[in-house]
């Protein structure tokens, strides 16, 4: 076990020195992401409750224009509006970050290019204590595939 741990530490050290850990080559990728799981909070019978939501298999296209491979747009398939605009970090060694965060206070999406997964969070409603039932906080997650534009 100890020698196995030593080997992993050594491999990680080599990967970091070569600039391979936590980064991908510096080119824009296009992803198709599909909602897989969902849950959240709902105001029911005078109190907030945790609930599981049905998934609608919502699909998103995550693309970057050729003119700026560091700016991504998230669009829900079937809708014209850009839901999020996101920036991807480029490291000094020319590699891109594995992960991008989009959105702002109360609503956003985190997309991981290496693991091909995303999480979308909507937190308003509970934070505002909106008891109308029309403003339900949620978290959804899904899996992505790299596609050729």
pTM of the model: 0.75
- What does the pLDDT average to over 7-32? 50
DSSP string, 34-49: EEEEEEEEEEETTEEE
HSE-up of residue 57 (Cα within 13 Å, Cβ side): 0
More confident residue, 18 or 112: 112
Please state, in angstroms and rounded to a whole number, the distance separating the CA atoms of residues 119 and 44: 25
Compute φ and ψ for 42, nearest 5 degrees: -135, 140
Element (H, E) at 17: helix 2-17
Q: Label residue 121 exposed, middle or buried (CB < 10 Å: 0-12, 13-18, 19+).
A: middle
pLDDT at residue 28 in the model: 72
pLDDT at residue 10 in the model: 44
Contact 80, 73 (CB under 8 A): no
Q: Which CA distances in Å does 78 have to 16, 66, 124?
A: 41, 22, 25
Q: Which tens digit of pLDDT belongs to each residue from 82-119?
A: 999 999 999 999 898 999 999 988 899 999 999 999 99
pLDDT at residue 76 in the model: 95
pLDDT at residue 113 in the model: 94
- What does the pLDDT average to over 31-49? 92
pLDDT at residue 149 in the model: 59
Domains of the chain with bracketed CATH: 24-147 (2.40.160)
State the average pLDDT for the chain.
Answer: 82
């Amino acid at each position: 076990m100890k020698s196995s741990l030593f080997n992993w530490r050594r491999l990680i050290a080599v990967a970091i020195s070569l600039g391979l850990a936590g980064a991908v080559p510096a080119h824009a990728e296009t992803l198709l992401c599909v909602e897989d799981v969902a849950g959240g909070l709902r105001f029911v019978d005078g109190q907030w409750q945790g609930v599981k939501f049905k998934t609608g298999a919502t699909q998103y296209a995550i693309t970057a224009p050729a003119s700026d491979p560091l700016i991504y747009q998230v669009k829900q398939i079937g809708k014209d509006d850009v839901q999020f605009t996101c920036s991807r970090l480029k490291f000094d060694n020319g590699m891109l970050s594995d992960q991008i965060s989009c959105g702002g206070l109360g609503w956003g999406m985190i997309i991981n290019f290496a693991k091909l997964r995303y999480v979308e969070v909507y937190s308003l409603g509970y934070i505002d204590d909106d008891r109308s039932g029309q403003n339900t906080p949620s978290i959804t997650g899904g899996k992505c595939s790299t596609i050729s534009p």
